[in-house]
Amino acid sequence: MKEKNLSPFQPAMTEKNRLLGEAVVKALSENGFSAKYVETREEALMEVLELIPEGVSVGIPGSVTIREIGALEKLQERGNKIYHHWDPTLTPESKNQRLTDENNSDYILTSSNAVTHDGMLVNIDGVGNRVSAMAWGNNPIVYVVGINKVAKDLQSAIQRVRDEATPPNALRLSIDTPCSKTGHCMDCKSPSRVCRALLILERATMGRKSHVVIVGEDLGY
Ligand code: SF4
């Protein structure tokens, strides 16, 4: 990481990210999450590998962030069974079963579309599998969230998801939405609208181990 910080302006940004990240971690902890700030994606991967035991199954319900930190490959390498539905060989029928398997895994590993300064997690989903996995489960859940997803408040968090996360996701999945043409949300009534289920976790849900790793780098959308 140090080798990557060649710009003379980077140390100030690194410090700004640390201050912001640690403030968000404090807020998340007050809201019942087990939260930690790390500076780099490499450290985030180490956290994930510590939080998730060897041998358990891991459901990954759609996350660019989890792939960007290399968690999928590392978990597979050490023998964790991975369930994820971004497998292009899945048929529609087997994809439905895979969505169920993801949510029923021993652990859920995902990101969050946004996290507010006061420690709330904000997510918008089209199918609903991801917010479903976040809303309830007997399985522990681990979130890895890049600093780019920190938003001042609830309103700006929702706007961030629609303006920053959804357009590239629609483009990635070749979904014909207005935002895939304009690059920002048009609050559409399109039949292909992917913003359908909004989940706001004001607190960690009762009785569930919920870990959040805030990373001082931009990750995912
Ligand atoms: S409401 Fe429609 S235009 Fe806005 S982000 Fe969602 S899919 Fe895109």
Mean pLDDT in order along the chain per 10 residues (221 residues): 68 94 98 98 98 97 95 97 90 92 97 98 96 97 98 98 95 95 97 97 97 97 91
State if residue 158 touches ligand 1 by the CB under 6 angstroms criterion: no
Place of tokens 């289920």: 197
Q: What ranges in the chain are assigned the alpha helix state H? A: 10-30, 41-51, 64-68, 71-77, 92-103, 129-135, 154-160, 166-172, 179-182
Each residue's pLDDT tens digit, 85-135? 988 889 988 999 999 999 999 999 999 999 999 999 999 999 999 999 999
Give me ligand 1 centre to Cα 56, in Å.
36
Which ligand 1 atom lies nearest to the CA of residue 195? 6
The residue type at 38: V
Mutate which of 160, 174, 184, 187 for ligand 1 pocket (most atoms within 8 A of beta carbon): 187
211 Cβ closer than 6 Å to some ligand 1 atom: no
List domains and CATH numbers for the chain. 2-215 (3.40.50.10420)
The pTM of the full predicted model, rounded to 2 decimals, is 0.94
